[in-house]
Amino acid sequence: MKRLVPAFFLIALCVFGVRAQLITDDNDVQSWNDVQLTAPLGKNFDFYTAVTMRFGKNVSRLNDGRFALGLVWKPTKALSIMPFYWYIDARNSRSQFRVEHRFSLRATYRFPIKKFGLTHRSTYEYRMRTPSSWRYRAGLTFEKELPKKFLPQAKFFFGDEVFYDSATGRFSRNRFSIGVNKTLNKHLAVDVYYMRQNDGFSHPGDLNTVWVTWRVKL
């Protein structure tokens, strides 16, 4: 019996060590950085482009670089419809870069509420890769202006987005975000926020991300 006690603790230590390693391997701290530019093309249309760089492995290496082009159609003040294309060169689970061509259609509706902002966003994505697949993304965002004495021309926001993926046949990803939007001038604004992603299929799927988005309007 005395010999079994140290053996039990040795086995338990190995089990917990392996479990901790698995948890560590499936989590990552990342930094995502966007620059978005919009330019008016007419009364109801804008040109849109963006560049994104994503750093992973505890912000020690480049994981993802992407470039977008699209149009924004605003038939009403509350509704915008946006078809756009992403060129993506991303590192896969084998640490090899693979190119993906992604065609997206996004509809954003801002509810007519005066005291705060409430926005729903739906996005359909067709992903040309090996193998090809499609996704549906639904997100809801709440925002509220901060007191001017605390931080002028700034808004606090939080939101949640869920992903349905045809490759898994289920809702397989969830992203929760919380942060601040600051308007610097009439042409430039910046979002700084924390995003938590949970995904049981991608590796690593559980991310803690600091996300910075610069928004330029011409």
Q: What angle do CA 159, 162, 164 make, to 5 degrees?
A: 165
Instruction: Single out the residue of 15, 50, 57, 19 nearest to residue 33, CA to CA.
Output: 50
pLDDT above 70 for 215 = yes
Residue with more model confidence, 10 or 201: 201
Taking the C-alpha atoms of residue 215 and residue 218, their distance in angstroms, rounded to an integer, is 10
Please give the share of the chain, as a percent, with pLDDT higher than 70. 89
Task: Tell me the H-state helices in 33-161.
Answer: none
Name the pLDDT band for 2 (thresholds 50, 70, 90): very low
How confident is the model at residue 25, as a pLDDT? 59
Q: Which domains does the chain have, with CATH numbers?
A: 4-217 (2.40.160.40)
Tally of CB atoms within 10 A around 86: 18
76 pairs with which residues across the strands?
none
Name the pLDDT band for 46 (thresholds 50, 70, 90): very high
Cα-Cα-Cα-Cα torsion 98, 164, 179, 217, nearest 10 degrees, comes to 70
How confident is the model at residue 214, as a pLDDT? 98
Q: Do residues 103 and 126 touch, judged by C-beta distance below 8 A?
A: yes
25-35 average pLDDT score:
90
User: What's the length of the chain?
Assistant: 218
Work out the end-to-end distance of the chain between its first and last CA atoms, rounded to an integer number of angstroms. Answer: 77
Q: Is 153 left (phi over 0), alpha (psi -120 to 50) or beta?
A: left
pTM of the model: 0.83
Residue 39: which residues within 8 A CB-CB, separation 6 or more? 46, 47, 217, 218
pLDDT above 60 for 167 = yes
E strand or H helix that includes residue 55? strand 45-56
E strand or H helix that includes residue 24? helix 4-25
Please give the share of the chain, as a percent, with pLDDT higher than 90. 75
| pLDDT digits 0-9 by tens, 76-135 | 999 999 999 999 999 877 778 899 999 999 999 999 888 899 999 999 999 999 889 999
Amino acid found at 60? S
Taking the C-alpha atoms of residue 30 and residue 217, their distance in angstroms, rounded to an integer, is 27
Sign of the torsion formed by the C-alpha atoms of 62, 64, 69 and 74: negative
| pLDDT digits 0-9 by tens, 52-72 | 999 999 999 999 999 999 999
Q: Do residues 205 and 198 touch, judged by C-beta distance below 8 A?
A: yes
